[in-house]
Amino acid sequence: MNQVKVIRQRYQMKRPDFAALLGVSVRTLEGWESGRFTPSGAAKKLLQVIGASHEAFAQLQRFKGESQMIELERDPEALTIMGVPFASPKAYQAAVNAIANNMFEGYVPTVEDVRHLVDDAQSPIDPREILKQVEAEEHVVTHD
């Protein structure tokens, strides 16, 4: 059986609903399922991801409709996110990755959040300090 159809049926979706979820026409979906043509580019990758992961399918369903698209305002040349400048390409890219990963979970970043990331990038985290803080918190909890 055709893989596109198998994926659609696994999620028990009707063609119009599945086509809308993928952002394609029902006619395109029918063409894929009949084997007249095959998905390519982003559609192919998206089908591979949701075919392999129920979690990815659930995430895709959360973003139905264009109104739920969240874009991160960033400028890779100026190394800015939401107008907040980063000192290095490495710090900028790490922040973009962290924010984007959390946006998949529904997080909407603020300028203040981005400023915190800049501060964190400028003052590296000392694992010994974190361990001291954790131990101090545990001491307070167990000795109150």
Question: How far is Cα 39 from Cα 19, in angstroms, rounded to an integer?
Answer: 12
Question: How far is Cα 31 from Cα 38, in angstroms, rounded to an integer?
Answer: 8
Domain residue limits at 31:
3-64
The closest alpha carbon to 72, from 43, 45, 110, 46, belongs to 110
pLDDT given at position 65: 56
DSSP state of 67: G
Last residue of a domain, one of 13, 33, 64: 64
pLDDT given at position 9: 95
In a shared domain, residues 74 and 144: yes
Total Cβ atoms within 10 A of residue 45 = 11
In a shared domain, residues 75 and 137: yes
The CATH number that applies at residue 27 is 1.10.260.40
Q: Mean pLDDT for each consecutive 10-residue tract of the chain (144 residues)? A: 91 91 90 92 90 88 60 88 91 85 75 86 74 77 55
In a shared domain, residues 79 and 142: yes
Question: How far is Cα 6 from Cα 33, in angstroms, rounded to an integer?
Answer: 9
The overall average pLDDT reported for the chain is 83
pLDDT given at position 64: 65
In a shared domain, residues 98 and 144: yes
Residue 99 and residue 81 in contact, taking contact as beta carbons nearer than 8 Å: yes
pLDDT given at position 144: 52
In a shared domain, residues 32 and 9: yes
